[in-house]
Amino acid sequence: MRGKSCLNVHQLVSRICGTCSIAHMTACVECVENALNINPSSQTKLLRNLTMDGLMIRDHAMHLYLFCLPDLFGVDSVLEFEGEKKELLKKALSVKSAGNELSKWIAGRAVHAPFPMIGHYAKLPDMSRKNEILKALKTAREHSVEFIDVFADCKFSLKRDTQFVGLANESYNFIGGAIHTSQKTCIPPEHFWDHLHRIVIPYSQATGFEFEGQDYLVGALARLNLNKQNLHSRTRKTIPKYLATFPSNNIFHNNLAQAIEILNCIDSSIDAIESFDPKEEPKPELKPKASSGVGVIEAPRGTLYYKLKIDNEGKVLDANLVIPTAQNQVLMEKDVGRVVQNNLSKGKEFVQFEVEKLIRAYDPCMSCATHFLRINWL
């Protein structure tokens, strides 16, 4: 990132992660806008929220329906689904597709989107596709409610007292607001780093973090625990009995929280699109200057923090990124230890499955959320 123009670096950082490329791009755009004192229009903010909704629908659907769902049915993968379960797979792909199409329509692509820019969007959506997108979202809504029923019936449990941390606002979207915690702390996003302590894990290349000296959790479970009252009104009316589950300290309820967020994103998107009438707007004047800025958003897996330092030519001098998986690293590792210790007498295959299942509940990243684990037994 060093030496790159601050006006283009958001496209570079989108390559940090394929599945969360839009989240990295959005956090970086917010960061540069704050550094350059750019206030995007309400239309640009709406487009940005819709872009994030498309990401959340697609990303949560991929993780839940393709990687976690087999655990609930006691099979190794969705390829083993038969009968009614095979119909569930078709519905899962329908929900994922709706998220993909929303992202492509608004942002140009579902991965490494070309339209989001500093202060504006390079191209407005083709409104001739409006009804097509709405139809796909409304079909996906029906399916997403069915999947919420499935994940609400999950009996897996691993509870832990910990602190929950996340960005919260009155609209339950993923941009804007303040950092809230389950200990009733409220922090301006630009001060988030001041409360973090980086943990060096000597036997690993991974980085961990503590919040004010304690382990903590970010992600969908944290967001539901902190902000469920601000979910879309239609979402709240559809699933009131499941919302009563939260706040929860059962990590497996992270999957239920993700399922609920899919529904919420669909409801929010439908309302926004139905009343959306985009207009061509003048592009903001971008004047690079020596400055620094912070951008904080909620990525699918939790709070994503960007801080950039820029020189007077607009080139990046330094960057500091705090990734959701790194923030959950300490807690996840402790819970893996608990699962292993509690199940040592039950055989290698059982222990391996329980650890994999736990890590999928944390949803650290797409590659780590698959059936992957190899254990060195001593």
Which of 375 and 157 is assigned the larger pLDDT? 157
* pLDDT recorded at residue 307: 96
- Tell me the residue length of the chain: 378
Q: Which domains does the chain have, with CATH numbers?
A: 9-369 (1.10.645.10)
Residue type, 118: I
pLDDT in tens, 295-337: 999 999 999 999 999 999 999 999 999 999 999 999 999 999 9
Cβ contact 136:56 at 8 Å: no
- Separation of CA 222 from chain center: 11
Please tell me the distance from the alpha carbon of residue 52 to that of residue 370, in angstroms, as a whole number: 23
pTM over 0.75: yes
Please tell me the distance from the alpha carbon of residue 30 to that of residue 37, in angstroms, as a whole number: 10
pLDDT in tens, 205-222: 778 999 999 999 999 999
H helices present in the chain, as ranges? 9-13, 21-35, 42-61, 69-73, 84-107, 130-152, 220-227, 233-238, 240-243, 253-274, 324-342, 348-362
How far the first Cα of the chain sits from its last, in Å, is 42
Provide the 10 A C-beta neighbour count for residue 46: 19
pLDDT in tens, 183-203: 999 999 999 999 999 998 888
Where residue 373 falls among pLDDT bands split at 50, 70, 90?
low
* pLDDT recorded at residue 310: 96
pLDDT in tens, 120-174: 999 999 999 999 999 999 999 999 999 999 999 999 999 999 999 999 999 999 9
* Full DSSP string of 128-163: GGHHHHHHHHHHHHHHHHHHHHHHHT-----B---E
Where residue 378 falls among pLDDT bands split at 50, 70, 90?
low
Q: Two tokens at 230?
A: 């601000």
pLDDT in tens, 243-300: 999 999 999 999 999 999 999 999 999 999 999 999 999 999 899 899 999 999 999 9
